[in-house]
Amino acid sequence: MNHQLISIVCPFFNEQEMVSIFINEIYKILNQTHKSFEIVCVNDGSTDSTLEQLLLEKKKRKEIKIVNLSRNFGKEAALTAGLDSSKGDVIIPIDADLQDPPELMLRFLEYWEKGYEVVLAKRNDRSSDSLSKRITAKMFYKVHNIISTTKVPENVGDYRLITRKVLQSLQKLPESQRFMKGLFAWVGYKTAIVEYRRDERKAGCTKFNGWKLWNFALDGITSFSTILLSFWLYLGAAIASVAFIYGSFIVIKTLVLGVDVPGYASLLTIILFMGGIQIIGIGVLGEYIGRLYIESKGRPIYIIDEIL
């Protein structure tokens, strides 16, 4: 299998401290495999010296390919750009911060040689993440997997090995809102799971704040489930039934006992409650319609400035 090519795909967004550490580490590991490889580095519109650092590395080493995007498109789009530009028989997406240990690639490759098309890396320990990130991540996987038909394996990131066959299937999914974990899960194939411990970032800082993560979670859920849309039908039906029963009760009571004026508090409470419920319903509709709107424009997922 020595003539086969391994592609490492890595998105870089303001990772100047990481470039040379990352490249050195990858070379150290991949040289042990005696296979040929390429490293596809996507510069996702970095505003620091990431691109210059990448160019310096490229001068020293012929395996490096730089895909320079025209601006910051976000991690999912950058990863897609890298995957589309990769030439390998197997492709390994990895983050630049080395939170996912590159040594694991050797085990990925063993599984691949055993005939697996996908090898996932599963974090069995997230103690390097903050408590709030761990709790929200756990909630996300729970909710997502209850309401979506495509189950996303828990604590599995984008770090994995896929064969070209899997990549070609992935490329048939045209959506512009790319929740990669979900898309990877959707295409299927014979999958192995390797467990590992997630480290702290080696340098630099996370590019995801709470708001970005919230929207990322919404992308995931809206991409793979429409349950939140159907939910309102059942909630509406339930409330209408209760209202009907209560209404009948009031009518009968009035007929039997005569007119009874008090009731201002309960009336106001019900009106406000129903108002709130309706606005939430409209909000959920809005989330889907907004995504539909963006999708309907059919804009490209990313724009490449140049490939170096």
User: Which residues lie near ligand UDP (CB under 6 A)?
Assistant: 11-13, 15, 44, 72, 74-75, 78, 95-97, 99, 206-208
- 267 near 250, Cβ under 8 Å? no
- 190 near 118, Cβ under 8 Å? yes
Residue 276 C-beta: closest distance to ligand UDP, Å: 33
Interaction mask 10-49, Mg ion, x per CB under 5 A: ----------------------------------------
Residue 95 C-beta: closest distance to ligand UDP, Å: 4
Gap between the terminal Cα atoms of the chain:
28
Footprint on residues 49-108 left by Mg ion (CB under 5 A)? 95, 97, 99
Residue 99 C-beta: closest distance to Mg ion, Å: 4
Of 61, 87, 64, the C-alpha closest to 4 is 87
Residue 75's H or E segment, with its range, is: helix 75-85
Residue 253 C-beta: closest distance to ligand UDP, Å: 58
Residue 141 C-beta: closest distance to ligand UDP, Å: 14
CA 84, distance to chain mean position in Å, is 17
* Residue number, 54 or 98, with CB nearest to Mg ion: 98
State the residue number with the nearest CB to Mg ion.
97
72 binds, among Mg ion, ligand UDP, none (CB under 5 to 8 A by kind): ligand UDP
184 binds, among Mg ion, ligand UDP, none (CB under 5 to 8 A by kind): none
Residue 98 C-beta: closest distance to Mg ion, Å: 9
12 binds, among Mg ion, ligand UDP, none (CB under 5 to 8 A by kind): ligand UDP
Tokens of 36: 């040929």
| Binding footprint of Mg ion, residue count (CB under 5 A) | 3
- 302 near 77, Cβ under 8 Å? yes
* Cα torsion 251, 255, 257, 261: sign: positive
Phi (first) and psi of residue 106, to 5 degrees: -65, -40
CA 191, distance to chain mean position in Å, is 19
CA angle 291, 292, 294 (to 5 degrees): 65
* Residue number, 85 or 128, with CB nearest to Mg ion: 128
207 binds, among Mg ion, ligand UDP, none (CB under 5 to 8 A by kind): ligand UDP
Residue in the structure block whose two tokens are 């007119």:
259
- Which chain residues interact with Mg ion by CB under 5 A? 95, 97, 99
